[in-house]
Chains A and B, each alone.
Chain A
Amino acid sequence: MTSSKTHVQTPKIEMTNVHKSFGTKDVLRGVDLTVQPGESMVIIGGSGTGKSVTLKCVLGLIKPDSGTIKIDGTDTTTIDRKDHDTLMGKFGMLFQGGALFDSLPVWENVAFGLIHGHKMSKEEARAVAIEKIKAVGMGERVADLYPAELSGGMQKRISLARAIATNPDIIFFDEPTTGLDPIMADVINDLIVKCVKDLGATGLTITHDMASARKIADKVAMIHEGQIIWVGDIKDLDNSGNEYVDQFIHGRADGPIKKHSDLAA
């Protein structure tokens, strides 16, 4: 609704020249990325190009070696632990494997952030959790099951319900469709689009599943060898004029991206 004024708004996420290396391996070599409020940004790229590390740096799970990461204009790389916990309250995260707590029943998983982060009473939190479980298309009866009793697709949905339970500002999706059959993958894609829209949240997704990217994204960024090499609207993806992007979206073995370079490095 404020798209005409986007250029004057403070970006939701602003990464500037972010570097990170593990031992002698430079994973991020100067990542620059800006995500505007309400936008759904999808980062695409091959395995081992730094997608996950980028996401974990924004989340604060990994501390970058240099560069700044601003959330709503505040640099998160220098804030103390307490402010960091407050910041986490703005975030929701859908982990690749679901990362549900297997010692807790489904409803407590969904309500976890409400009970411990937002200090909601258990009864209230359970009601919200059941509402969110329904929002991801599942019945109330799964609430008292344990995560191990659910199939992979159901676990992903519950994990999505947990990610949206606290009505976060920014939701992160780590390869949301990996390990799912094509139909379930599409169900998850639809749910992601619906949930992000309903909350008016900003989305940041990393994936190598192009069907998923096309469905979820407003904007796409391509990461290669630790740098963002192309950013554009989803509608421009097919005529990006970038041979790396073309090779990736068409899944060709031949092209400028050499897979064996992973092993040589």
Chain B
Amino acid sequence: MTVVLNLCSNIGATILGLLSSIGAITAFAGQSVAHIFKGPFFIKNLFRQFIDIGYYSLPVVGMTALFTGMVLALQSYTGFTRFNAEGAVAGVVVLSITRELAPVLAGLMVAGRVGASIAAEIGTMRVTEQIDALTTLSVNPYKYLIVPRLVAGTLMLPILVLIGDLIGVYGGYIVSIHMLNFSVGGYISQTLNTLQAIDVISGLIKAAVFGFLVTLMGCYHGFNSGRGAQGVGAATTNAVVSSSIMILIFNYVLTQVFFS
């Protein structure tokens, strides 16, 4: 009997904890977004984040997109030959990349790269009282630290994904032409005939949402980091895990909104 009660109370405590974190994150997000529209603005910090989040993520996102496009062409070809449907390879590659794989994989890669570094940096600033120091120097930490990261994440991820789309489709093209002996003209026209604007646009909107989520989770967990090295370590882990899971959940929700 007590075992069952203990189990129930543990489940209840977990659910309550989850709900209170959702509430805290929502409140944090609301407060941060409110600060985006009111000055003073720290333009220099914003540009630094454009470089950190956007430019330095290019190699990672590019490599991910390239090999994903290549493997997609190979897999769909070997699968589709069973139904004599090799002609669908170009269409499958371009739709999978633009709608799903570029935004989701770029989001996950950026979560690992940027989300972790934001949580570690802001968490260390919390632990060493640098955030308190900002407040005592009359600078709002939301405006100075969080707004630049959220804005840069939301604006940079769509650009990264657009570049990822091009590289990914090109990866599929290389494999199809050079290894699977497709004709250049046929492959390109197949690609262009299948692709519609909504495929790319939906992917870019997803990317903007993912960029916001990754930077939000990095900032939230860093800002509320526990004490010491262990606290910062936990904040980093939580930032990556929670933003990855939120990317997958929001990906489903957004797909449902766009294509049903």
CB distance from A209 to the nearest CB of B (A): 19
B40 nearest in chain A by CB position: A116
B17-69 interface (Cβ within 8 A of A): 40
Q: Tell yes or no: A135 within 8 A of B by CB.
A: no
Q: Tell yes or no: B255 within 8 A of A by CB.
A: no
Q: Cα distance A162–B130 when bound, in Å? A: 13
Please pick, from A56, A100, A116, the residue contacting B138 in the complex, using a CB distance under 8 A.
A116
B114-132 interface (Cβ within 8 A of A): 125, 128-130, 132
Enumerate chain A residues within 8 angstroms of B140, measured Cβ to Cβ.
85
Q: Cα distance A96–B133 when bound, in Å? A: 11
A91 touches B136 (CB 8 A): yes
CB distance from A121 to the nearest CB of B (A): 15
A88-128 interface (Cβ within 8 A of B): 88-89, 91-93, 95-97, 99-102, 112-113, 116-117
Enumerate chain A residues within 8 angstroms of B248, measured Cβ to Cβ.
none
A160-212 interface (Cβ within 8 A of B): 162, 166
CB distance from B145 to the nearest CB of A (A): 11
Enumerate chain A residues within 8 angstroms of B137, measured Cβ to Cβ.
88, 112-113, 116-117, 162, 166
Please pick, from A86, A88, A92, A166, the residue contacting B135 in the complex, using a CB distance under 8 A.
A88
CB distance from B233 to the nearest CB of A (A): 18
Q: Cα distance A187–B133 when bound, in Å? A: 23
A101 touches B138 (CB 8 A): no
A-B interface pairs (CB < 8 A), number:
52
B136 touches A59 (CB 8 A): yes
Q: Cα distance A85–B40 when bound, in Å? A: 13
CB distance from B129 to the nearest CB of A (A): 4
Q: Tell yes or no: A263 within 8 A of B by CB.
A: no
Q: Tell yes or no: B198 within 8 A of A by CB.
A: no
CB distance from B231 to the nearest CB of A (A): 15
Query: Count the A residues whose beta carbon is within 8 Å of the partner chain — how many?
Result: 24
A45-95 interface (Cβ within 8 A of B): 56, 59-61, 85-86, 88-89, 91-93, 95
B40 touches A95 (CB 8 A): no
Enumerate chain A residues within 8 angstroms of B144, measured Cβ to Cβ.
116
Enumerate chain B residues within 8 angstroms of A113, measured Cβ to Cβ.
137-138
Q: Cα distance A85–B135 when bound, in Å? A: 8
A93 touches B133 (CB 8 A): yes
A114 nearest in chain B by CB position: B137
Q: Cα distance A32–B71 when bound, in Å? A: 71
B129 touches A88 (CB 8 A): no
A101 touches B136 (CB 8 A): no
Q: Cα distance A61–B133 when bound, in Å? A: 10
Please pick, from A89, A97, A102, A116, the residue contacting B129 in the complex, using a CB distance under 8 A.
A97
A89 nearest in chain B by CB position: B138
B135 nearest in chain A by CB position: A61
Enumerate chain B residues within 8 angstroms of A116, measured Cβ to Cβ.
40, 137-139, 144
B48 nearest in chain A by CB position: A103
Enumerate chain B residues within 8 angstroms of A86, measured Cβ to Cβ.
138
Enumerate chain A residues within 8 angstroms of B129, measured Cβ to Cβ.
95-97, 99
Per-position 1/0 for B131-160, Cβ under 8 A of A: 011011111100010000000000000000
Enumerate chain B residues within 8 angstroms of A59, measured Cβ to Cβ.
132, 135-136
Q: Cα distance A147–B238 when bound, in Å? A: 29
CB distance from B236 to the nearest CB of A (A): 17
Instruction: Give the 4 A-B residue pairs with the shortest CB-CB distance, closest first.
Output: A117-B138, A99-B129, A113-B137, A99-B133
A→B interface (CB under 8 Å): 56, 59-61, 85-86, 88-89, 91-93, 95-97, 99-102, 112-113, 116-117, 162, 166
A-B contact pairs, 8 of them (CB 8 A): A56-B132, A59-B136, A88-B135, A88-B136, A100-B133, A101-B130, A116-B137, A116-B139
Given contacts A59-B135, A88-B137, A95-B133, 20 further A-B pairs with CB under 8 A are A56-B132, A59-B132, A59-B136, A60-B135, A61-B136, A88-B138, A89-B138, A92-B136, A95-B132, A97-B129, A100-B130, A100-B133, A101-B133, A102-B130, A112-B137, A116-B137, A116-B138, A116-B139, A117-B137, A117-B139
